[in-house]
Amino acid sequence: MRVLACIKRVPIPGAKIPLTDDGTAVDDERLGHTVSPHEECAVEEAVRLVEAHGGTSTVLTVGPPDAEEQLRAAVSTGVDQAVLVPTDGADWDPQRTAAAVVAAIGELEQADGPFDLVLFGNESADAGGFQVGIRVAVALGRPMVQGIKEVEVDGDTVRVSRPTGTTSEVYELPLPACLGVREGLNLPRYPTMRGRLVSRKATIAEVTVDGPAGGQSLVALESPPEQEVETEVLGSGPEAIERVISVLEDLKVLT
């Protein structure tokens, strides 16, 4: 089977997210980069599905040329092919991103045949628009469910489930299908030494496509006001227990 995982390069924030002087972007010059934990699981699932069923796995990103780093990281954990849709460096809005992904999938499928599964992270770590995967699926006319934490391919069907608090909803989608997956779907592997070597030499294919800008335009980013909390230290070690109990009683969680 052919499985595609779509990822997005994002900075790794520390205790606080630094902003550029004009306040319109995260100042990521001193930050490392990665992909969302959801997308790490999408990449891992693509590799596992191909290990179990045969075929090829592909990873795709819409992003700046530096996103090659995240594509190579995916290759180092076993993905067969990597595709970059280069942007000008700016963060595209969800409609434009989705249109570019749809166009890129069109080109890749024209060349090598359809993808049975297209996997997305449930939402990106930074923008968190919760929609690019759904827009792509609707444009392709394929079924799509978000929030997936179990995937099982059986013939031309994929059985998936998503947790909803105390229950799990099960869906059975006909292939080809799209899924928005969540962290917890699997435990992503670390790259092997050989994987690292392969990824360094891997060819990153480029597909240059674009879509029209959507109606949403970013004005500025802002760190939420830090809630000034006066921390009351109840004590050190077990001597604090009595005061902890009176706190719990005051809150009526202990009666």
Number of residues that bind another protein (CB under 8 A): 81
The yes or no reply on residue 110 touching another protein (CB under 8 A) is no
Q: Which is nearer to another protein, 148 or 202 (CB)?
A: 148
The yes or no reply on residue 167 touching another protein (CB under 8 A) is yes
Q: How far apart are CA 15 and CA 114, in angstroms?
A: 43
The yes or no reply on residue 14 touching another protein (CB under 8 A) is yes
The yes or no reply on residue 253 touching another protein (CB under 8 A) is yes
Using CB under 8 A, which of 67, 83, 144, 151 touches another protein? 144
3-state secondary structure 151-183: EEEECCEEEEEEEECCEEEEEEEECCEEEEECC
The yes or no reply on residue 52 touching another protein (CB under 8 A) is no
The residue among 189, 181, 98 whose CA lies nearest residue 140 is 98
Site for another protein in 199-238 (CB under 8 A): 214-224, 227, 229, 231-238
Q: Do residues 47 and 78 make contact, with C-beta atoms less than 8 angstroms apart?
A: yes
The yes or no reply on residue 17 touching another protein (CB under 8 A) is yes
Using CB under 8 A, which of 161, 189, 198, 209 touches another protein? 161
Using CB under 8 A, which of 31, 55, 64, 149 touches another protein? 149
Identify the bridge partners of residue 173 per DSSP, sorted by sequence position. 158
CA distances from 89 to 98, 121, 214 (A): 16, 21, 17
The yes or no reply on residue 127 touching another protein (CB under 8 A) is yes
The yes or no reply on residue 137 touching another protein (CB under 8 A) is yes
The yes or no reply on residue 164 touching another protein (CB under 8 A) is yes
Q: Is 122 helix (H, G, I), strand (E, B) or coil?
A: coil
The residue among 80, 75, 23, 26 whose CA lies nearest residue 50 is 80
